[in-house]
């Protein structure tokens, strides 16, 4: 398998201009470190696509499905499907042995220079399959020492493994915590298997929640960054998640990711079969807005599969099935290092451009906000054709700044070179509430359909940085002079 270095040309049409002077000109990328994040923490998250929204424009994760078993039952899970902790329901293509997983990781690292993180996130629980999880990480560490390790767990077995997790330099752990009150937890977890016994009801929830909190405290005491995932279940824990947010913040969690319940009856889960609904996008956003101001929120999660590969908005898993892997792969670290160097320079340049964009929107005196959907294939640029987009990243611009607040998934309009009109209706519905769509190119037919639905679409900012494009659009819309060098 070849090892292509991703080129700037794949993200832009022309080389990005380099700014002169200051840190940005050195390409160290430190200008992109948020002021409220400690430099040591920034070093841990700056290449992690889940722990840093900024990094998700550049870096990829891969999951290996070496953890099939689980030690609890969640009412939103059917064992035939991926773990809902970290994946949307859908069968994992292949369950892997640690040896197979190792082969796959080396092959992906050789072919995808954006790869920075190896995660184990199901399809069951990473710690309920500790032997597999450990063997996989140990093998990969020897071959690719710079890759970050990440695991996801329901937390039941966590206190038993924290020392080994720390010894193995696994410095990113996700715990799914849906409740801190056992009365609420008992409505989500019908049973756990603990200390050689199946336990149910309040007893099960009490043990699980206590072990989740203890595991969280033990991890943060060792300097491991912990992300909390919570599944928002309307009528069961939606009003309770503010309390969860406070409890995990008090114990040193780094990030809180509130994800919507997925409860399709076709998945055969308890919630799916009993008619428990998931939240609407508006309900999820409203809850996230209410939680803002507590622990930092993750708003760019894609609820990816337990065998996902690629940038968060894409899944290249089917390119790397076991049957497609070569028997032997020679791993060369140079392309990944070259890509990181490229990103460091690009980030410095983008940081300066973003400062200009923020000055533009902050110049608006009134609290006028604009929701903008962006077609991007990475690199934090407007660089995807409307017809190729399978998702749009949603940015909110207002006097307080420009922020990514979510994404909208769609079916690609352009299939094999032709527009598929049947996708336009659902795409327009998915873009509900959006003022303007930014993309690299758009045809007359979708443009007219969007305009008829009250949505502007433009390719006038093609290949700009996203914040630059959104800042210009905002300034122009409200009759201001953009502050762009
Ligand atoms: Fe994987 Fe999870 Fe690590 Fe990321 S995913 S184990 S922290 S490397 Fe990321 Fe996927 Fe959301 Fe998870 S987008 S589901 S938060
Ligand atoms: Fe399913 Fe994950 Fe819950 Fe286990 S922890 S029951 S695999 S969602």
Taking all residues of the chain, what is their mean pLDDT, rounded to a whole number? 86
- Which residue is closest in CA terms to ligand 1's atom 4? 50
**Relative to the alpha carbon of 120, which ligand is closest?**
1
Best residue among 48, 90, 304, 311 to mutate for probing ligand 1, ranked by most atoms within 8 Å of CB: 304
Atom of ligand 2 nearest to the CA of 123: 7
Cα separation, 398 vs 248, in Å, equals 30
Are residues 136 and 281 located together in one domain of the fold? yes
pLDDT at 33: 67
Ligand 1 neighbour 57 (Cβ under 6 A): no
Are residues 201 and 145 located together in one domain of the fold? yes
Are residues 247 and 100 located together in one domain of the fold? yes
Within a domain: 351 = no
Domain count, the chain: 2
pLDDT at 365: 61
Within a domain: 44 = yes
Question: Which residues, in sequence order, are CB contacts of 149 under 8 Å at separation 6+?
Answer: 117, 118, 119, 137, 140, 141, 168, 169, 170, 171, 172
Within a domain: 356 = no
Expressed in angstroms and rounded, the spacing between residue 371 Cα and the centre of ligand 2 is 35
- CATH of residue 124's domain is 3.20.20.70
Are residues 288 and 436 located together in one domain of the fold? no
Are residues 311 and 382 located together in one domain of the fold? no
Within a domain: 355 = no
**Relative to the alpha carbon of 45, which ligand is closest?**
1
Helices then strands (H, E): number in the chain? 14, 17
Cα separation, 7 vs 286, in Å, equals 39
Boundary (domain end) residue, out of 302, 324, 346 = 324
pLDDT at 126: 96
Question: Which residues, in sequence order, are CB contacts of 353 under 8 Å at separation 6+?
Answer: 465, 467, 468, 484
pLDDT tens-digit series, residues 69-93:
999 999 999 866 555 444 443 346 6
pLDDT at 479: 65
Average pLDDT over residues 166-182: 97
Ligand 2 neighbour 70 (Cβ under 6 A): yes
Residue 14: pLDDT band (50, 70, 90) is very low
Min mean pLDDT across 176-190, 237-251, 293-307, 349-363 is at: 349-363
pLDDT at 3: 33
Are residues 9 and 104 located together in one domain of the fold? yes
* pLDDT higher than threshold 50 for residue 293: yes
Are residues 108 and 157 located together in one domain of the fold? yes
Are residues 66 and 203 located together in one domain of the fold? yes
Residue, of 479 and 151, whose pLDDT is higher: 151
Stated as kind and residue range, the H or E segment containing 424 is helix 424-430
* pLDDT higher than threshold 50 for residue 11: no
Q: Name the pairing type of β-strands 115-120 and 72-73.
A: unpaired
Residue, of 328 and 174, whose pLDDT is higher: 174
- CATH of residue 396's domain is 3.30.420.130
Percent of the chain predicted with pLDDT > 70? 87
Within a domain: 337 = no
Expressed in angstroms and rounded, the spacing between residue 248 Cα and the centre of ligand 2 is 20
Residue that the structure tokens 């499905």 belong to: 65
Cα separation, 19 vs 33, in Å, equals 18
* pLDDT higher than threshold 60 for residue 467: yes
pLDDT tens-digit series, residues 304-318:
888 899 999 888 988
Closest CA to 451 of 477, 431, 466, 471: 431
Residue, of 437 and 88, whose pLDDT is higher: 437
Range of the domain at 228: 3-324
Ligand 2 neighbour 153 (Cβ under 6 A): no
pLDDT at 356: 81
Are residues 19 and 98 located together in one domain of the fold? yes
* pLDDT higher than threshold 90 for residue 415: no
Are residues 315 and 402 located together in one domain of the fold? no
Boundary (domain end) residue, out of 275, 295, 324 = 324
Cα separation, 33 vs 52, in Å, equals 10
Within a domain: 359 = no
Residue 161: pLDDT band (50, 70, 90) is very high
Best residue among 44, 119, 219, 313 to mutate for probing ligand 1, ranked by most atoms within 8 Å of CB: 119
Boundary (domain end) residue, out of 324, 349, 384 = 324
Within a domain: 330 = no
Are residues 308 and 162 located together in one domain of the fold? yes
Ligand 1 neighbour 136 (Cβ under 6 A): no
CA distances from 311 to 92, 114, 302, 304, 467 (A): 18, 8, 10, 10, 19
pLDDT tens-digit series, residues 383-408:
999 999 999 999 999 877 888 998 99
Ligand 1 neighbour 62 (Cβ under 6 A): no
- Tokens describing residue 301: 């999660």
Ligand 2 neighbour 468 (Cβ under 6 A): no
Cα separation, 185 vs 332, in Å, equals 47
Within a domain: 345 = no
Atom of ligand 2 nearest to the CA of 154: 5
Ligand 1 neighbour 63 (Cβ under 6 A): yes
Q: Kindly compute the dihedral angle of the four CA atoms of residues 385, 457, 297, 359, in this order, to the nearest 10 degrees.
A: 110
pLDDT tens-digit series, residues 16-50:
333 322 222 222 233 466 677 888 899 999 999 99
Q: Highest-confidence range of 82-96, 119-133, 346-360, 413-427, by mean pLDDT?
A: 119-133
Are residues 374 and 283 located together in one domain of the fold? no
Expressed in angstroms and rounded, the spacing between residue 304 Cα and the centre of ligand 1 is 7
């Amino acid at each position: 398998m070849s090892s292509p270095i991703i080129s700037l040309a794949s993200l832009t049409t022309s080389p990005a201009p380099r700014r002169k002077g200051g840190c940005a000109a050195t390409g160290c990328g430190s200008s992109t470190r948020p002021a409220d994040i400690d430099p040591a923490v920034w070093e841990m998250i700056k290449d992690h696509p889940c722990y840093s929204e900024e990094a998700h424009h550049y870096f990829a994760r891969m999951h290996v499905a070496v953890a099939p078993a689980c030690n609890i039952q969640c009412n939103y899970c059917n064992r035939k499907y991926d773990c809902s902790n970290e994946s949307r329901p859908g069968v994992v293509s292949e369950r892997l042995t640690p040896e197979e997983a190792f082969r796959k990781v080396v092959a992906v690292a050789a072919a995808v220079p954006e790869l920075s993180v190896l995660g184990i996130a199901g399809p069951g629980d990473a710690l309920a399959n500790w032997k597999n999880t450990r063997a996989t990480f140990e093998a990969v560490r020897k071959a690719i020492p710079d890759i970050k390790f990440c695991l996801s767990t329901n937390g039941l077995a966590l206190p038993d493994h924290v020392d080994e997790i720390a010894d193995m330099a696994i410095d990113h752990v996700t715990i799914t915590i849906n409740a801190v009150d056992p009365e609420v937890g008992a409505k989500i977890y019908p049973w756990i298997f603990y200390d050689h016994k199946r336990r149910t009801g309040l007893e099960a929830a009490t043990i699980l929640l206590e072990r989740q909190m203890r595991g969280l405290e033990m991890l943060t005491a060792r300097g491991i960054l912990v992300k909390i995932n919570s599944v928002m279940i309307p009528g069961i824990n939606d009003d309770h998640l503010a309390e969860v947010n406070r409890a995990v913040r008090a114990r040193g969690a780094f990030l809180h990711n509130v994800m919507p319940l997925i409860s399709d009856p076709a998945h055969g889960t308890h919630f799916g079969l009993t008619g428990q609904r998931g939240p609407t996008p508006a309900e999820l956003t409203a809850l996230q807005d209410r939680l803002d101001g507590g622990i930092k929120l993750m708003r760019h999660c894609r609820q990816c599969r337990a065998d996902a590969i690629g940038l968060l908005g894409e899944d290249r898993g089917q390119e790397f099935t076991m049957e497609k892997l070569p028997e032997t792969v020679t791993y060369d670290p140079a392309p990944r290092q070259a890509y990181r160097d490229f990103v460091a320079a690009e980030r410095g340049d983008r940081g300066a451009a973003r400062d200009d964009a923020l000055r533009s929107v902050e110049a608006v005196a009134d609290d006028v906000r604009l929701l903008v959907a962006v077609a991007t294939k990475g690199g934090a640029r407007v660089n995807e054709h409307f017809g190729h987009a399978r998702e749009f990243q949603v940015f909110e611009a207002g006097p307080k700044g420009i922020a990514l607040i979510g994404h909208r998934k769609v079916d690609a309009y352009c299939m094999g070179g032709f527009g598929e009109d049947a996708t336009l209706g659902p795409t327009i519905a998915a873009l509900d509430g959006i003022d303007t769509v930014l993309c690299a190119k758009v045809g007359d037919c979708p443009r007219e359909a969007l305009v008829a639905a009250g949505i502007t679409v433009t390719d006038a900012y093609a290949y700009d940085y996203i914040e630059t494009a959104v800042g210009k659009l905002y300034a122009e819309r409200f009759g201001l002079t953009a502050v762009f060098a």
